[in-house]
């Protein structure tokens, strides 16, 4: 058995014996579907809704472009988290290649999610605080904090003896 993944996605991949030999088993699948996907989809919906408000119309073109980039990042995260669609390519089976690809997609998804959250934090903080410096600091914190919890701390735990 080997450990793969990061953060809340960390799991154990091993083998399960069935009637036709052994097949990989992954604990990653339930975690990604129940934890990140609904939140990312809801965030994407809120981001889309914001574009219909008067407050959005009042933003500078730079802030609108930043929000659009954030929207794209969150959209990418949702696409990466929707990897069960890829199971169709493997005949509906838990093929070892499917588990490897699915695990990589699930581990990659929080990166654009964090970037999107950070970009929108910059837009919101810039408007609320009327300070580019404060907005940059808050956006940096909004990027660094989840990356530490989703990647750095779990990687340290996986690499620890």
Per-residue model confidence (pLDDT) at position 14: 38
Give me the pLDDT at residue 84, please: 57
Q: Which of 63, 1, 45, 48 is nearest to 27 (CA)?
A: 1
- What pLDDT does 22 receive? 47
pLDDT value of residue 16: 40
Q: Which ranges in the chain belong to alpha helices (H)?
A: 28-31, 37-50, 54-57, 61-81, 96-108, 110-129, 132-147, 153-159
Domain ranges of the chain: 2-159
pLDDT confidence of residue 72: 95
pLDDT computed for residue 32 by the predictor: 46
Q: pTM score, two decimals?
A: 0.74
Helices 110-129 and 61-81 meet at what angle, rounded to 10?
A: 150
> What is the structure's pLDDT at 107?
86
Q: For the chain (length 161 residues), average pLDDT per consecutive 10?
A: 41 41 43 67 88 90 96 92 66 73 84 96 95 97 95 87 79
């Amino acid at each position: 058995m080997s450990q793969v993944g990061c953060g809340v996605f960390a799991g154990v991949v091993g083998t399960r014996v069935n009637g036709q030999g052994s097949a990989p088993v992954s604990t990653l699948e339930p975690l990604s579907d129940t934890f990140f996907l609904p939140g990312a989809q809801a965030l994407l919906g809120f981001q889309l809704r914001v574009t219909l408000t008067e407050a959005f119309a009042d933003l500078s073109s730079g802030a609108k472009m930043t929000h659009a980039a954030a929207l794209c990042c969150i959209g990418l995260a949702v696409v990466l988290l929707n990897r069960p669609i890829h199971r169709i390519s493997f005949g509906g089976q838990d093929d070892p290649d499917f588990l490897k690809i699915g695990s990589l997609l699930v581990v990659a998804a929080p990166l654009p999610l964090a970037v999107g959250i950070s970009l929108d934090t910059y837009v919101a903080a810039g408007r609320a605080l009327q300070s580019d410096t404060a907005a940059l600091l808050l956006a940096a914190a909004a990027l660094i904090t989840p990356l530490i919890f989703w990647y750095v701390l779990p990687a340290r735990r996986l690499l620890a003896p």
